[in-house]
Chains A and B, each alone.
Chain A
């Protein structure tokens, strides 16, 4: 392989680069940041081992999604609709929409909390976020939106800086990835692990990476690059998660400071890591909320378009994409309104969302495995034997964890 061909491949990779990375980064939405910070504060470096496993699981499941998208040219919603009919599509869609709404609400509430930390009034901040998000999606084309998403991932560097400022024991941190030390297999730890899993591998994540790859309109010859990007994205996002966990582990866990909620991590680490680290943490949270709000709302809009056959693309103009954009805006408005009204228990909403996600995930994996094993749809890109074993084992782990979460949330454990 001479240098010319390497350069050519690099250019193709850069052209293809985007969807999987962005989806993975969106896992580091406000809820994600909160979860990782909490996990780090509670369990220290021992949770890093779980993070590594989760990263692999994320990569495998995303890869199936992008492969299906590139080979069949159809979204997950399209395929479910065509193979299982209207009634099942409706059930899945409603479940997805409600679960996504819960996630968007969680992001808005994190936004509200961050605003209050900066002593900013909540209402204008939330209103501003709704307006900015809508304009961003409505006015932007696929390309500009993708590039802005990618740029905003730079904000996550804030966490890297925070982590360094926390002066952690790097040796311990890095080795804990593969060799966990001091794990207490308590109920808390299991819940914590499942929370980490659940915030990384989500139903909306599966739908979004699928729809986003299709909206990018890539040809099948680009498949190897897309697959590579999937693994790249999964690892990238969890590198940032790594730093988030390390930041709180080195400051709060080590000093045995209890953390009540993830949003407070920014305040909590200040005494140990300095003003700047605290502020950066909060700024990162702001950006994470934006990513989560826009991307999850887009997921529902894309899903509706695929299930019910309307045009839905970031490149759509107003005429054709009316319903698509309207749906996007509607979710923002509903979520923002709910968050601004204090009598609604946000805690409960988050809980139910987790339960719903927990129930949806097994169903979606059933569809994914079904489709990737169907030679009529995938042609020669069907799951290879070993890959299938790995995929099935991953799915089983995820499904068990998801059901566990779902059931325990419902039973109020």
Chain B
């Protein structure tokens, strides 16, 4: 195990003894395994020289010696497109600990020499800090000899961390994508709220659409607003059309009017109408804001098996389906039932026979707290919203209102 803190500052000479400078940094490849590619040397004029690690003199034991020797015939180069720095980009920076689910700071970087030099992980513990002061060994001895305690560094493996900052803008970190897929969208959203918005943007762009949407819908509104302000129109439109309509509308209402109009104008006609309609509703009341049009309504003459087919065909993109509403020929709400009740019936039963006719509902102008009270009283997590003629406009779920309730208590 080699620690970067032990390497930094080592003197570097050529084989025939001429002094080049001190080791300042290392570069590594970003795609795949983090192999060390170049040594960055700071010479006496404080200029930085990049030399490929292949030029390490075969005579010596590589980087672990007191002094490092480079072949006389070395050539200098520059940092490559898919390379990053160990010290400038990883050391002292904040990273996501994917195992411990929190943001930590890198105190040291660990490397391993197996013919070629690789980064194995980072040290996030106190020992890492002491190592920079040359005190790590002192502490270990001081505690080991009298008390027989082994002081172990707190290490995280490279596979279990995700750098928060991606400074090489053009680089796509292939391995990082896979790591990010393992993180739950809710957790990733938490991390992205901490880091600056350019970074958030970069990371979300790396995700596939499905995961990106989940993460975006979990961000707080400040971050969502900032994110969409800096996202280009095409990508923003794509995200808006993929998001759940009520989430999309929330975001559209956050951004500037100019941005909103730009995004809406590039949407498909169907989507644009849907969202404009919801925007109009959201201007009316808080119920309107929380409203979604993703509900299933069936006719009172449908059979159980017909309804099951409808569910399979029409509700693919619903975030959740608990209740199914029943309407008559005039599209008025006449009944409701839940999935449990549906599945207990035989296939050919007509729905009006088992639906609940006394439907709890709210109107657009119903105050928010009344809606919440109803949901709590009757133990249902969604309510249909009806107009004066008892026709369904949409539904609200308790999740959307619970955010507002939570804020009142905080």
Contacts and interface: CB of A to CB of B under 8 A. Distances in A.
A363 interface: no
Contact of A73 (B102, B104, B132, B196): B196
A135 interface: no
Contact of B226 (A81, A86, A90, A219): A219
A220 B226 contact: yes
A85 B195 CA distance: 19
A72 interface: yes
Contacts of A311: 102
Contact of B107 (A72, A82, A86, A221): A86
Nearest to A311: B102
A73 B105 contact: no
Interface in B78-136: 91-94, 102, 104-105, 107, 124, 126, 129, 132-133
B194 interface: yes
Interface string B55-73: 0000000000000000000
Contacts of A143: 410
A95 B90 CA distance: 27
Contacts of B410: 143
A309 B105 contact: yes
Contacts of A219: 222, 225-226
Contacts of B194: 73
A86 B129 contact: yes
A74 to B, nearest CB: 8
B93 A86 contact: no
Nearest to B5: A86
Interface string A65-91: 000000011000010011001110010
A366 interface: no
Instruction: Give the one of A78, A86, A87 with max B CB within 10 A.
Output: A86
Given A82-B92, A86-B92, A219-B222, A309 B124 contact: yes
B93 A308 contact: no
A72 B93 contact: no
Contact of A309 (B94, B132, B133, B226): B94
B92 A90 contact: no
A220 B223 CA distance: 10
Interface string B370-394: 0000000000000000000000000
A85 B90 CA distance: 11
Contact of A81 (B92, B124, B222): B92
Scoring B92, B104, B133 by chain A CB atoms within 10 A of each residue's CB, the highest score goes to B92
Main secondary structure of the interface of B (DSSP, over half): mixed
Contacts of A78: 94
Nearest to B87: A85
A308 B129 contact: yes
A86 B195 contact: no
Contacts of B104: 309
Interface in B176-199: 194-196
A346 to B, nearest CB: 32
Contacts of B133: 86-87, 90
A90 B107 CA distance: 12
A221 B196 CA distance: 14
Given A73-B195, A220-B226, A81 B105 contact: yes
A330 B410 CA distance: 29
Given A72-B196, A73-B196, A308 B226 contact: no
B225 to A, nearest CB: 7
Given A219-B222, A308-B105, A82 B129 contact: no
B18 to A, nearest CB: 29
A311 B100 CA distance: 14
A317 to B, nearest CB: 14
A356 B222 CA distance: 40
A311 B222 CA distance: 22
Contacts of A86: 92, 107, 129, 132-133
A81 B94 CA distance: 10
A104 B222 CA distance: 37
Interface string A219-262: 11100000000000000000000000000000000000000000
A349 to B, nearest CB: 27
Nearest to A379: B198
A309 B125 CA distance: 9
Nearest to A315: B410
A70 B203 CA distance: 21
Nearest to B107: A86
A143 B222 CA distance: 19
A81 B106 CA distance: 10
B92 A85 contact: yes
Contact of B93 (A73, A82, A220, A221): A82
B151 to A, nearest CB: 17
A72 B195 CA distance: 8
Contacts of B222: 219, 221
Interface centre among B124, B126, B195, B196 (most CB of A within 10 A): B196
A311 B102 CA distance: 10
Contacts of A221: 222, 225
Nearest to A377: B196
B212 to A, nearest CB: 21
Contacts of B93: 82
A14 to B, nearest CB: 16
A220 B196 CA distance: 10
Contacts of B132: 85-87
Interface in B394-410: 410
A309 B133 CA distance: 17
Contacts of A309: 94, 104-105, 107, 124
Most-contacted residue by chain B among A72, A143, A219, A308 (CB, 10 A): A219
Contacts of B196: 72-73
B53 to A, nearest CB: 23
Contacts of A72: 196
Nearest to B165: A82
Nearest to B108: A86
Nearest to B94: A309
A86 B133 CA distance: 9
Contacts of B126: 308
B258 to A, nearest CB: 15
Contacts of A220: 226
A90 B102 CA distance: 23
Given A82-B93, A221-B225, 19 more contacts: A72-B196, A73-B194, A73-B196, A81-B92, A81-B105, A85-B91, A85-B92, A86-B129, A87-B133, A90-B129, A90-B133, A219-B222, A219-B225, A219-B226, A220-B226, A308-B105, A308-B129, A309-B105, A311-B102
Interface of A: 72-73, 78, 81-82, 85-87, 90, 143, 219-221, 308-309, 311
**Pairs of residues from A and B, 3 with the lowest C-beta to C-beta distance, nearest first:** A309-B105, A219-B222, A86-B132
19 contacts: A72-B196, A73-B194, A81-B105, A85-B92, A86-B92, A86-B129, A86-B133, A87-B132, A87-B133, A90-B133, A143-B410, A219-B226, A220-B226, A308-B105, A308-B129, A309-B104, A309-B107, A309-B124, A311-B102
